[in-house]
Amino acid sequence: PRRFLASKEQFHAYLRARGEPGSQRSDGGKEEEAEIKEKEEEVGSCQSEPPAKRMRSEDFGQDGESQEDAGAEEKEPTERKRARGQNKSRPCMKPNHYEQSRLCPSVTQGCAEKCYFGPRCRFLHDIDEYMAVKPADLGRSCVLFETFGKCIYGVTCRFAQAHLGNGYQNIVNMDVAKQWEGKSLVRNNLSKDLQHQLRKRKFIFKKADEYLRGLAKPHGDSGKGGKAMGCSTEEQEMSNCTTTEEGRADSPECPVLLEPEDPKPDVLQSPGPTGDEEVSFVKTVGPVTDEDMIKLRSCEKKKLEIQGKLYLAPLTTCGNLPFRRICKRFGADVTCGEMAVCTNLLQGQSSEWALLKRHHTEDIFGVQLEGAFPDTMTKCAELLNQTIEVDFVDINVGCPIDLVYKKGGGCALMTRSNKFEQIVRGMNSVLDVPLTVKIRTGVQEKINVAHKIIPKIREWGASMVTLHGRSREQRYTRGADWDYIAECAKIASPMPLFGNGDILSYEDANRAMQMGVSGIMIARQVPVGALIKPWLFTEIKEQRHWDISSSERFDILKDFTNYGLEHWGSDTQGVEKTRKFLLEWLSFLCRYIPVGLLEHLPQKINERPPYYMGRDYLETLMASQNVDDWIKISEMLLGPVPTSFTFLPKHKANSYR
């Protein structure tokens, strides 16, 4: 309703006055408005607002109220472009940079005399010295101690007063701790032995090597065999290029691409005979086993029974384990980890393996892999098949960013049918769980090719396809083409096809299911989706619009914070990592428009509201797109930020001031 509308100056003045009544029209408020205006003029283009966010005269009442403000807004230069893309120059402060003097982990674990580094250790070993410089505690209750009966972070915990006794002894609640003994809460961890095998290239890829040797055999005049393993030098270099933090994907399908500074090209090749042995493609004579004669048929594999279920899409950065726990609580049936790069997994990178972790509450869980060549993708599939617990493995053929596309991965696989086929067939041959594929309508905006590829994917052995109703050129703009998704669902039959795009309410979900798809995938679609409205799963299951209050939304943030402290830790490093991911999520949550304030239901795609006042101070604060206000919300949950703290959202579209 129009009574909630406000100008930018009124909105920020209200928040600066901490919601005190009458603050907008006071003289002090006018001075604050002038200060805000001056500051906003200094903000760079990456912080500028999109034209759709600016006030228009028709947005106000017919009585001419606020016409002066509207006229001032119209004088702003119209040629200013909307902020898009990634904030590549944003500060890269890591959570551990906020703590100068850290206590050695050996002391925390009660075995200081066994410190691996001995006198060379650069961490503190004196608890009294550490406590003298340790930042003040953030609260009186520790979520780890209350939940598990013990906090493994001891004196380094930022809530340590809840479980420290005399002499800084860590107290343990044995009654609670016994309930969790022997239980594995988070699975799919990377063991040190496995990491060592991968780094030294001692892991044996028996099935993958057999498949790749078959591809390397000549196939007459077709010439397909010679390219099976990406044998050309150029392709090897492309698949092994290093990437930087700046190159992390700015899309929901693409996570960070991190690799060592000096990667070894041979990590991409199959470990073959060493020494003076020659590679022979002639099958040796030997005893015939059952495995040689009888192959595991696709119908004998574990089936993926998720038709009609709600599928939470893999989401970059924000689709972490604590966020997935929030979505599971609200009714998500199927969850999937963030996209992992196969070459990084094969190199044993801890940061990449962290994307595969699975909470015990995720009953149907899969992982998504990105790669461009059959050798790395097939080996990675066999590696995961032997080492982690998943219900399915998904191939990302939908990532639109240039970094991935130019190396032949993501959407580029839709134009490389030979490599695409080899990847799907190879991964399917080494996996004991179903293989799924996520694709887009095509690469170019008006040239759809998914309907041609889907029958081939079914023939190659995939168990399911998810189709995002946009092309690569569209990225995440404009509406998804659900008519085309319906056409592809008929072509895919009997293989299940899930639709993805613009599921903003239970009405949209009902409309999508009537298109003939087997289910729907819910992602971050602008402006609403799982990231901006995680209770969307509840709305779909209960068939209602939920006018969720600001206090209920704040409780969701509290739960996320607690889950984050459980997952990343309650020491300074864990607290700041939790804060970082909370702020990234808040950059999306601020786009939610409360149902009680809407003139019509539901909120529509790419709909950016004018500035509005919420029904209380907290609701107004949550609607702010100012980074400083997000930080204020994080301080309400995690205490004051460090003195050197800086934050800028990953995507420019999320960083208005």
Residues 610 and 570 in one domain: yes
**Local structure of 173: helix, strand or coil:** coil
Q: Give the DSSP per-residue string, 586-654.
A: HHHHTT---GGG-SSSSPPTT-----B--SSHHHHHHT---HHHHHHHHHHHH-PPPTT-----SBGGG
Give me the pLDDT at residue 109, please: 81
Place 253 in a pLDDT band, splitting at 50, 70 and 90.
very low
Considering its fold, how many domains does the chain have in total? 3
Question: Is residue 561 in some structural domain?
Answer: yes
Instruction: Give the span between the Cα atoms of 570 and 137, in whole angstroms.
Output: 11
Residues 519 and 582 in one domain: no
Dig out the tokens for 25 from the structure.
């029209």
Residue 342: exposure state from Cβ atoms within 10 A (0-12, 13-18, ≥19): buried
Q: List, for residues 150-187, the tens digit of each pLDDT value.
A: 999 999 999 999 999 998 899 999 999 999 988 889 99
Question: In the predicted model, what is the mean pLDDT of the chain?
Answer: 79
**Distances from the Cα of 229 to the Cα of 211, 580, 604, angstroms:** 10, 39, 46
Residue 271 pLDDT > 90, yes or no? no
Residues 474 and 532 in one domain: yes
Total-model pTM? 0.78
Residues 498 and 605 in one domain: no
Question: Is residue 120 in some structural domain?
Answer: yes
Q: Give first-to-last CA distance, the chain, whole Å.
A: 24
Higher pLDDT, 173 or 26: 173
Question: Is residue 51 in some structural domain?
Answer: no
Residues 530 and 583 in one domain: no
Query: The domain that contains 322 carries what CATH number?
Result: 3.20.20.70
Question: Is residue 12 in some structural domain?
Answer: no
Residues 534 and 583 in one domain: no
Dig out the tokens for 31 from the structure.
């001075």
Quickly count: other Cβ atoms within 10 Å of residue 423's Cβ. 29
Give me the pLDDT at residue 163, please: 94
Q: Are 250 and 401 in contact (CB under 8 A)?
A: yes
Matching residue, tokens 């969850």: 335
Give me the pLDDT at residue 296, please: 55
Question: Is residue 396 in some structural domain?
Answer: yes
Of the residues 493, 525, 546, which one is the last residue of a structural domain? 546
Question: Is residue 181 in some structural domain?
Answer: yes
Q: List, for residues 353-365, the tens digit of each pLDDT value.
A: 999 999 999 999 9
The residues, ordered by sequence, that sit 6+ positions from 165 with a Cβ below 8 Å of its Cβ are 171
Dig out the tokens for 363 from the structure.
């009953």
Residue 286 pLDDT > 80, yes or no? no
Highest mean pLDDT among 149-153, 250-254, 279-283: 149-153
Residues 451 and 576 in one domain: no
Question: Is residue 171 in some structural domain?
Answer: yes
- One-letter amino acid at 336 equals C
Question: Is residue 482 in some structural domain?
Answer: yes
Residues 496 and 584 in one domain: no
Side-chain-facing half-sphere of 374: CA atoms under 13 Å:
33
Residues 309 and 165 in one domain: no
Of the residues 187, 207, 232, which one is the last residue of a structural domain? 187
Of the residues 187, 210, 228, which one is the last residue of a structural domain? 187
Catalytic (active-site) positions: 399
Q: Give the structural domain span for 648.
A: 553-656
Q: What is the 3-state secondary structure (H, E, C) of 388-418?
A: CCCCEEEEEECCCCHHHHCCCCHHHHHHCHH
Residues 484 and 436 in one domain: yes
Residues 398 and 377 in one domain: yes
pLDDT cut 70: percent of the chain above it: 72
Q: Are 31 and 41 in contact (CB under 8 A)?
A: no
Place 85 in a pLDDT band, splitting at 50, 70 and 90.
low
Residues 380 and 353 in one domain: yes
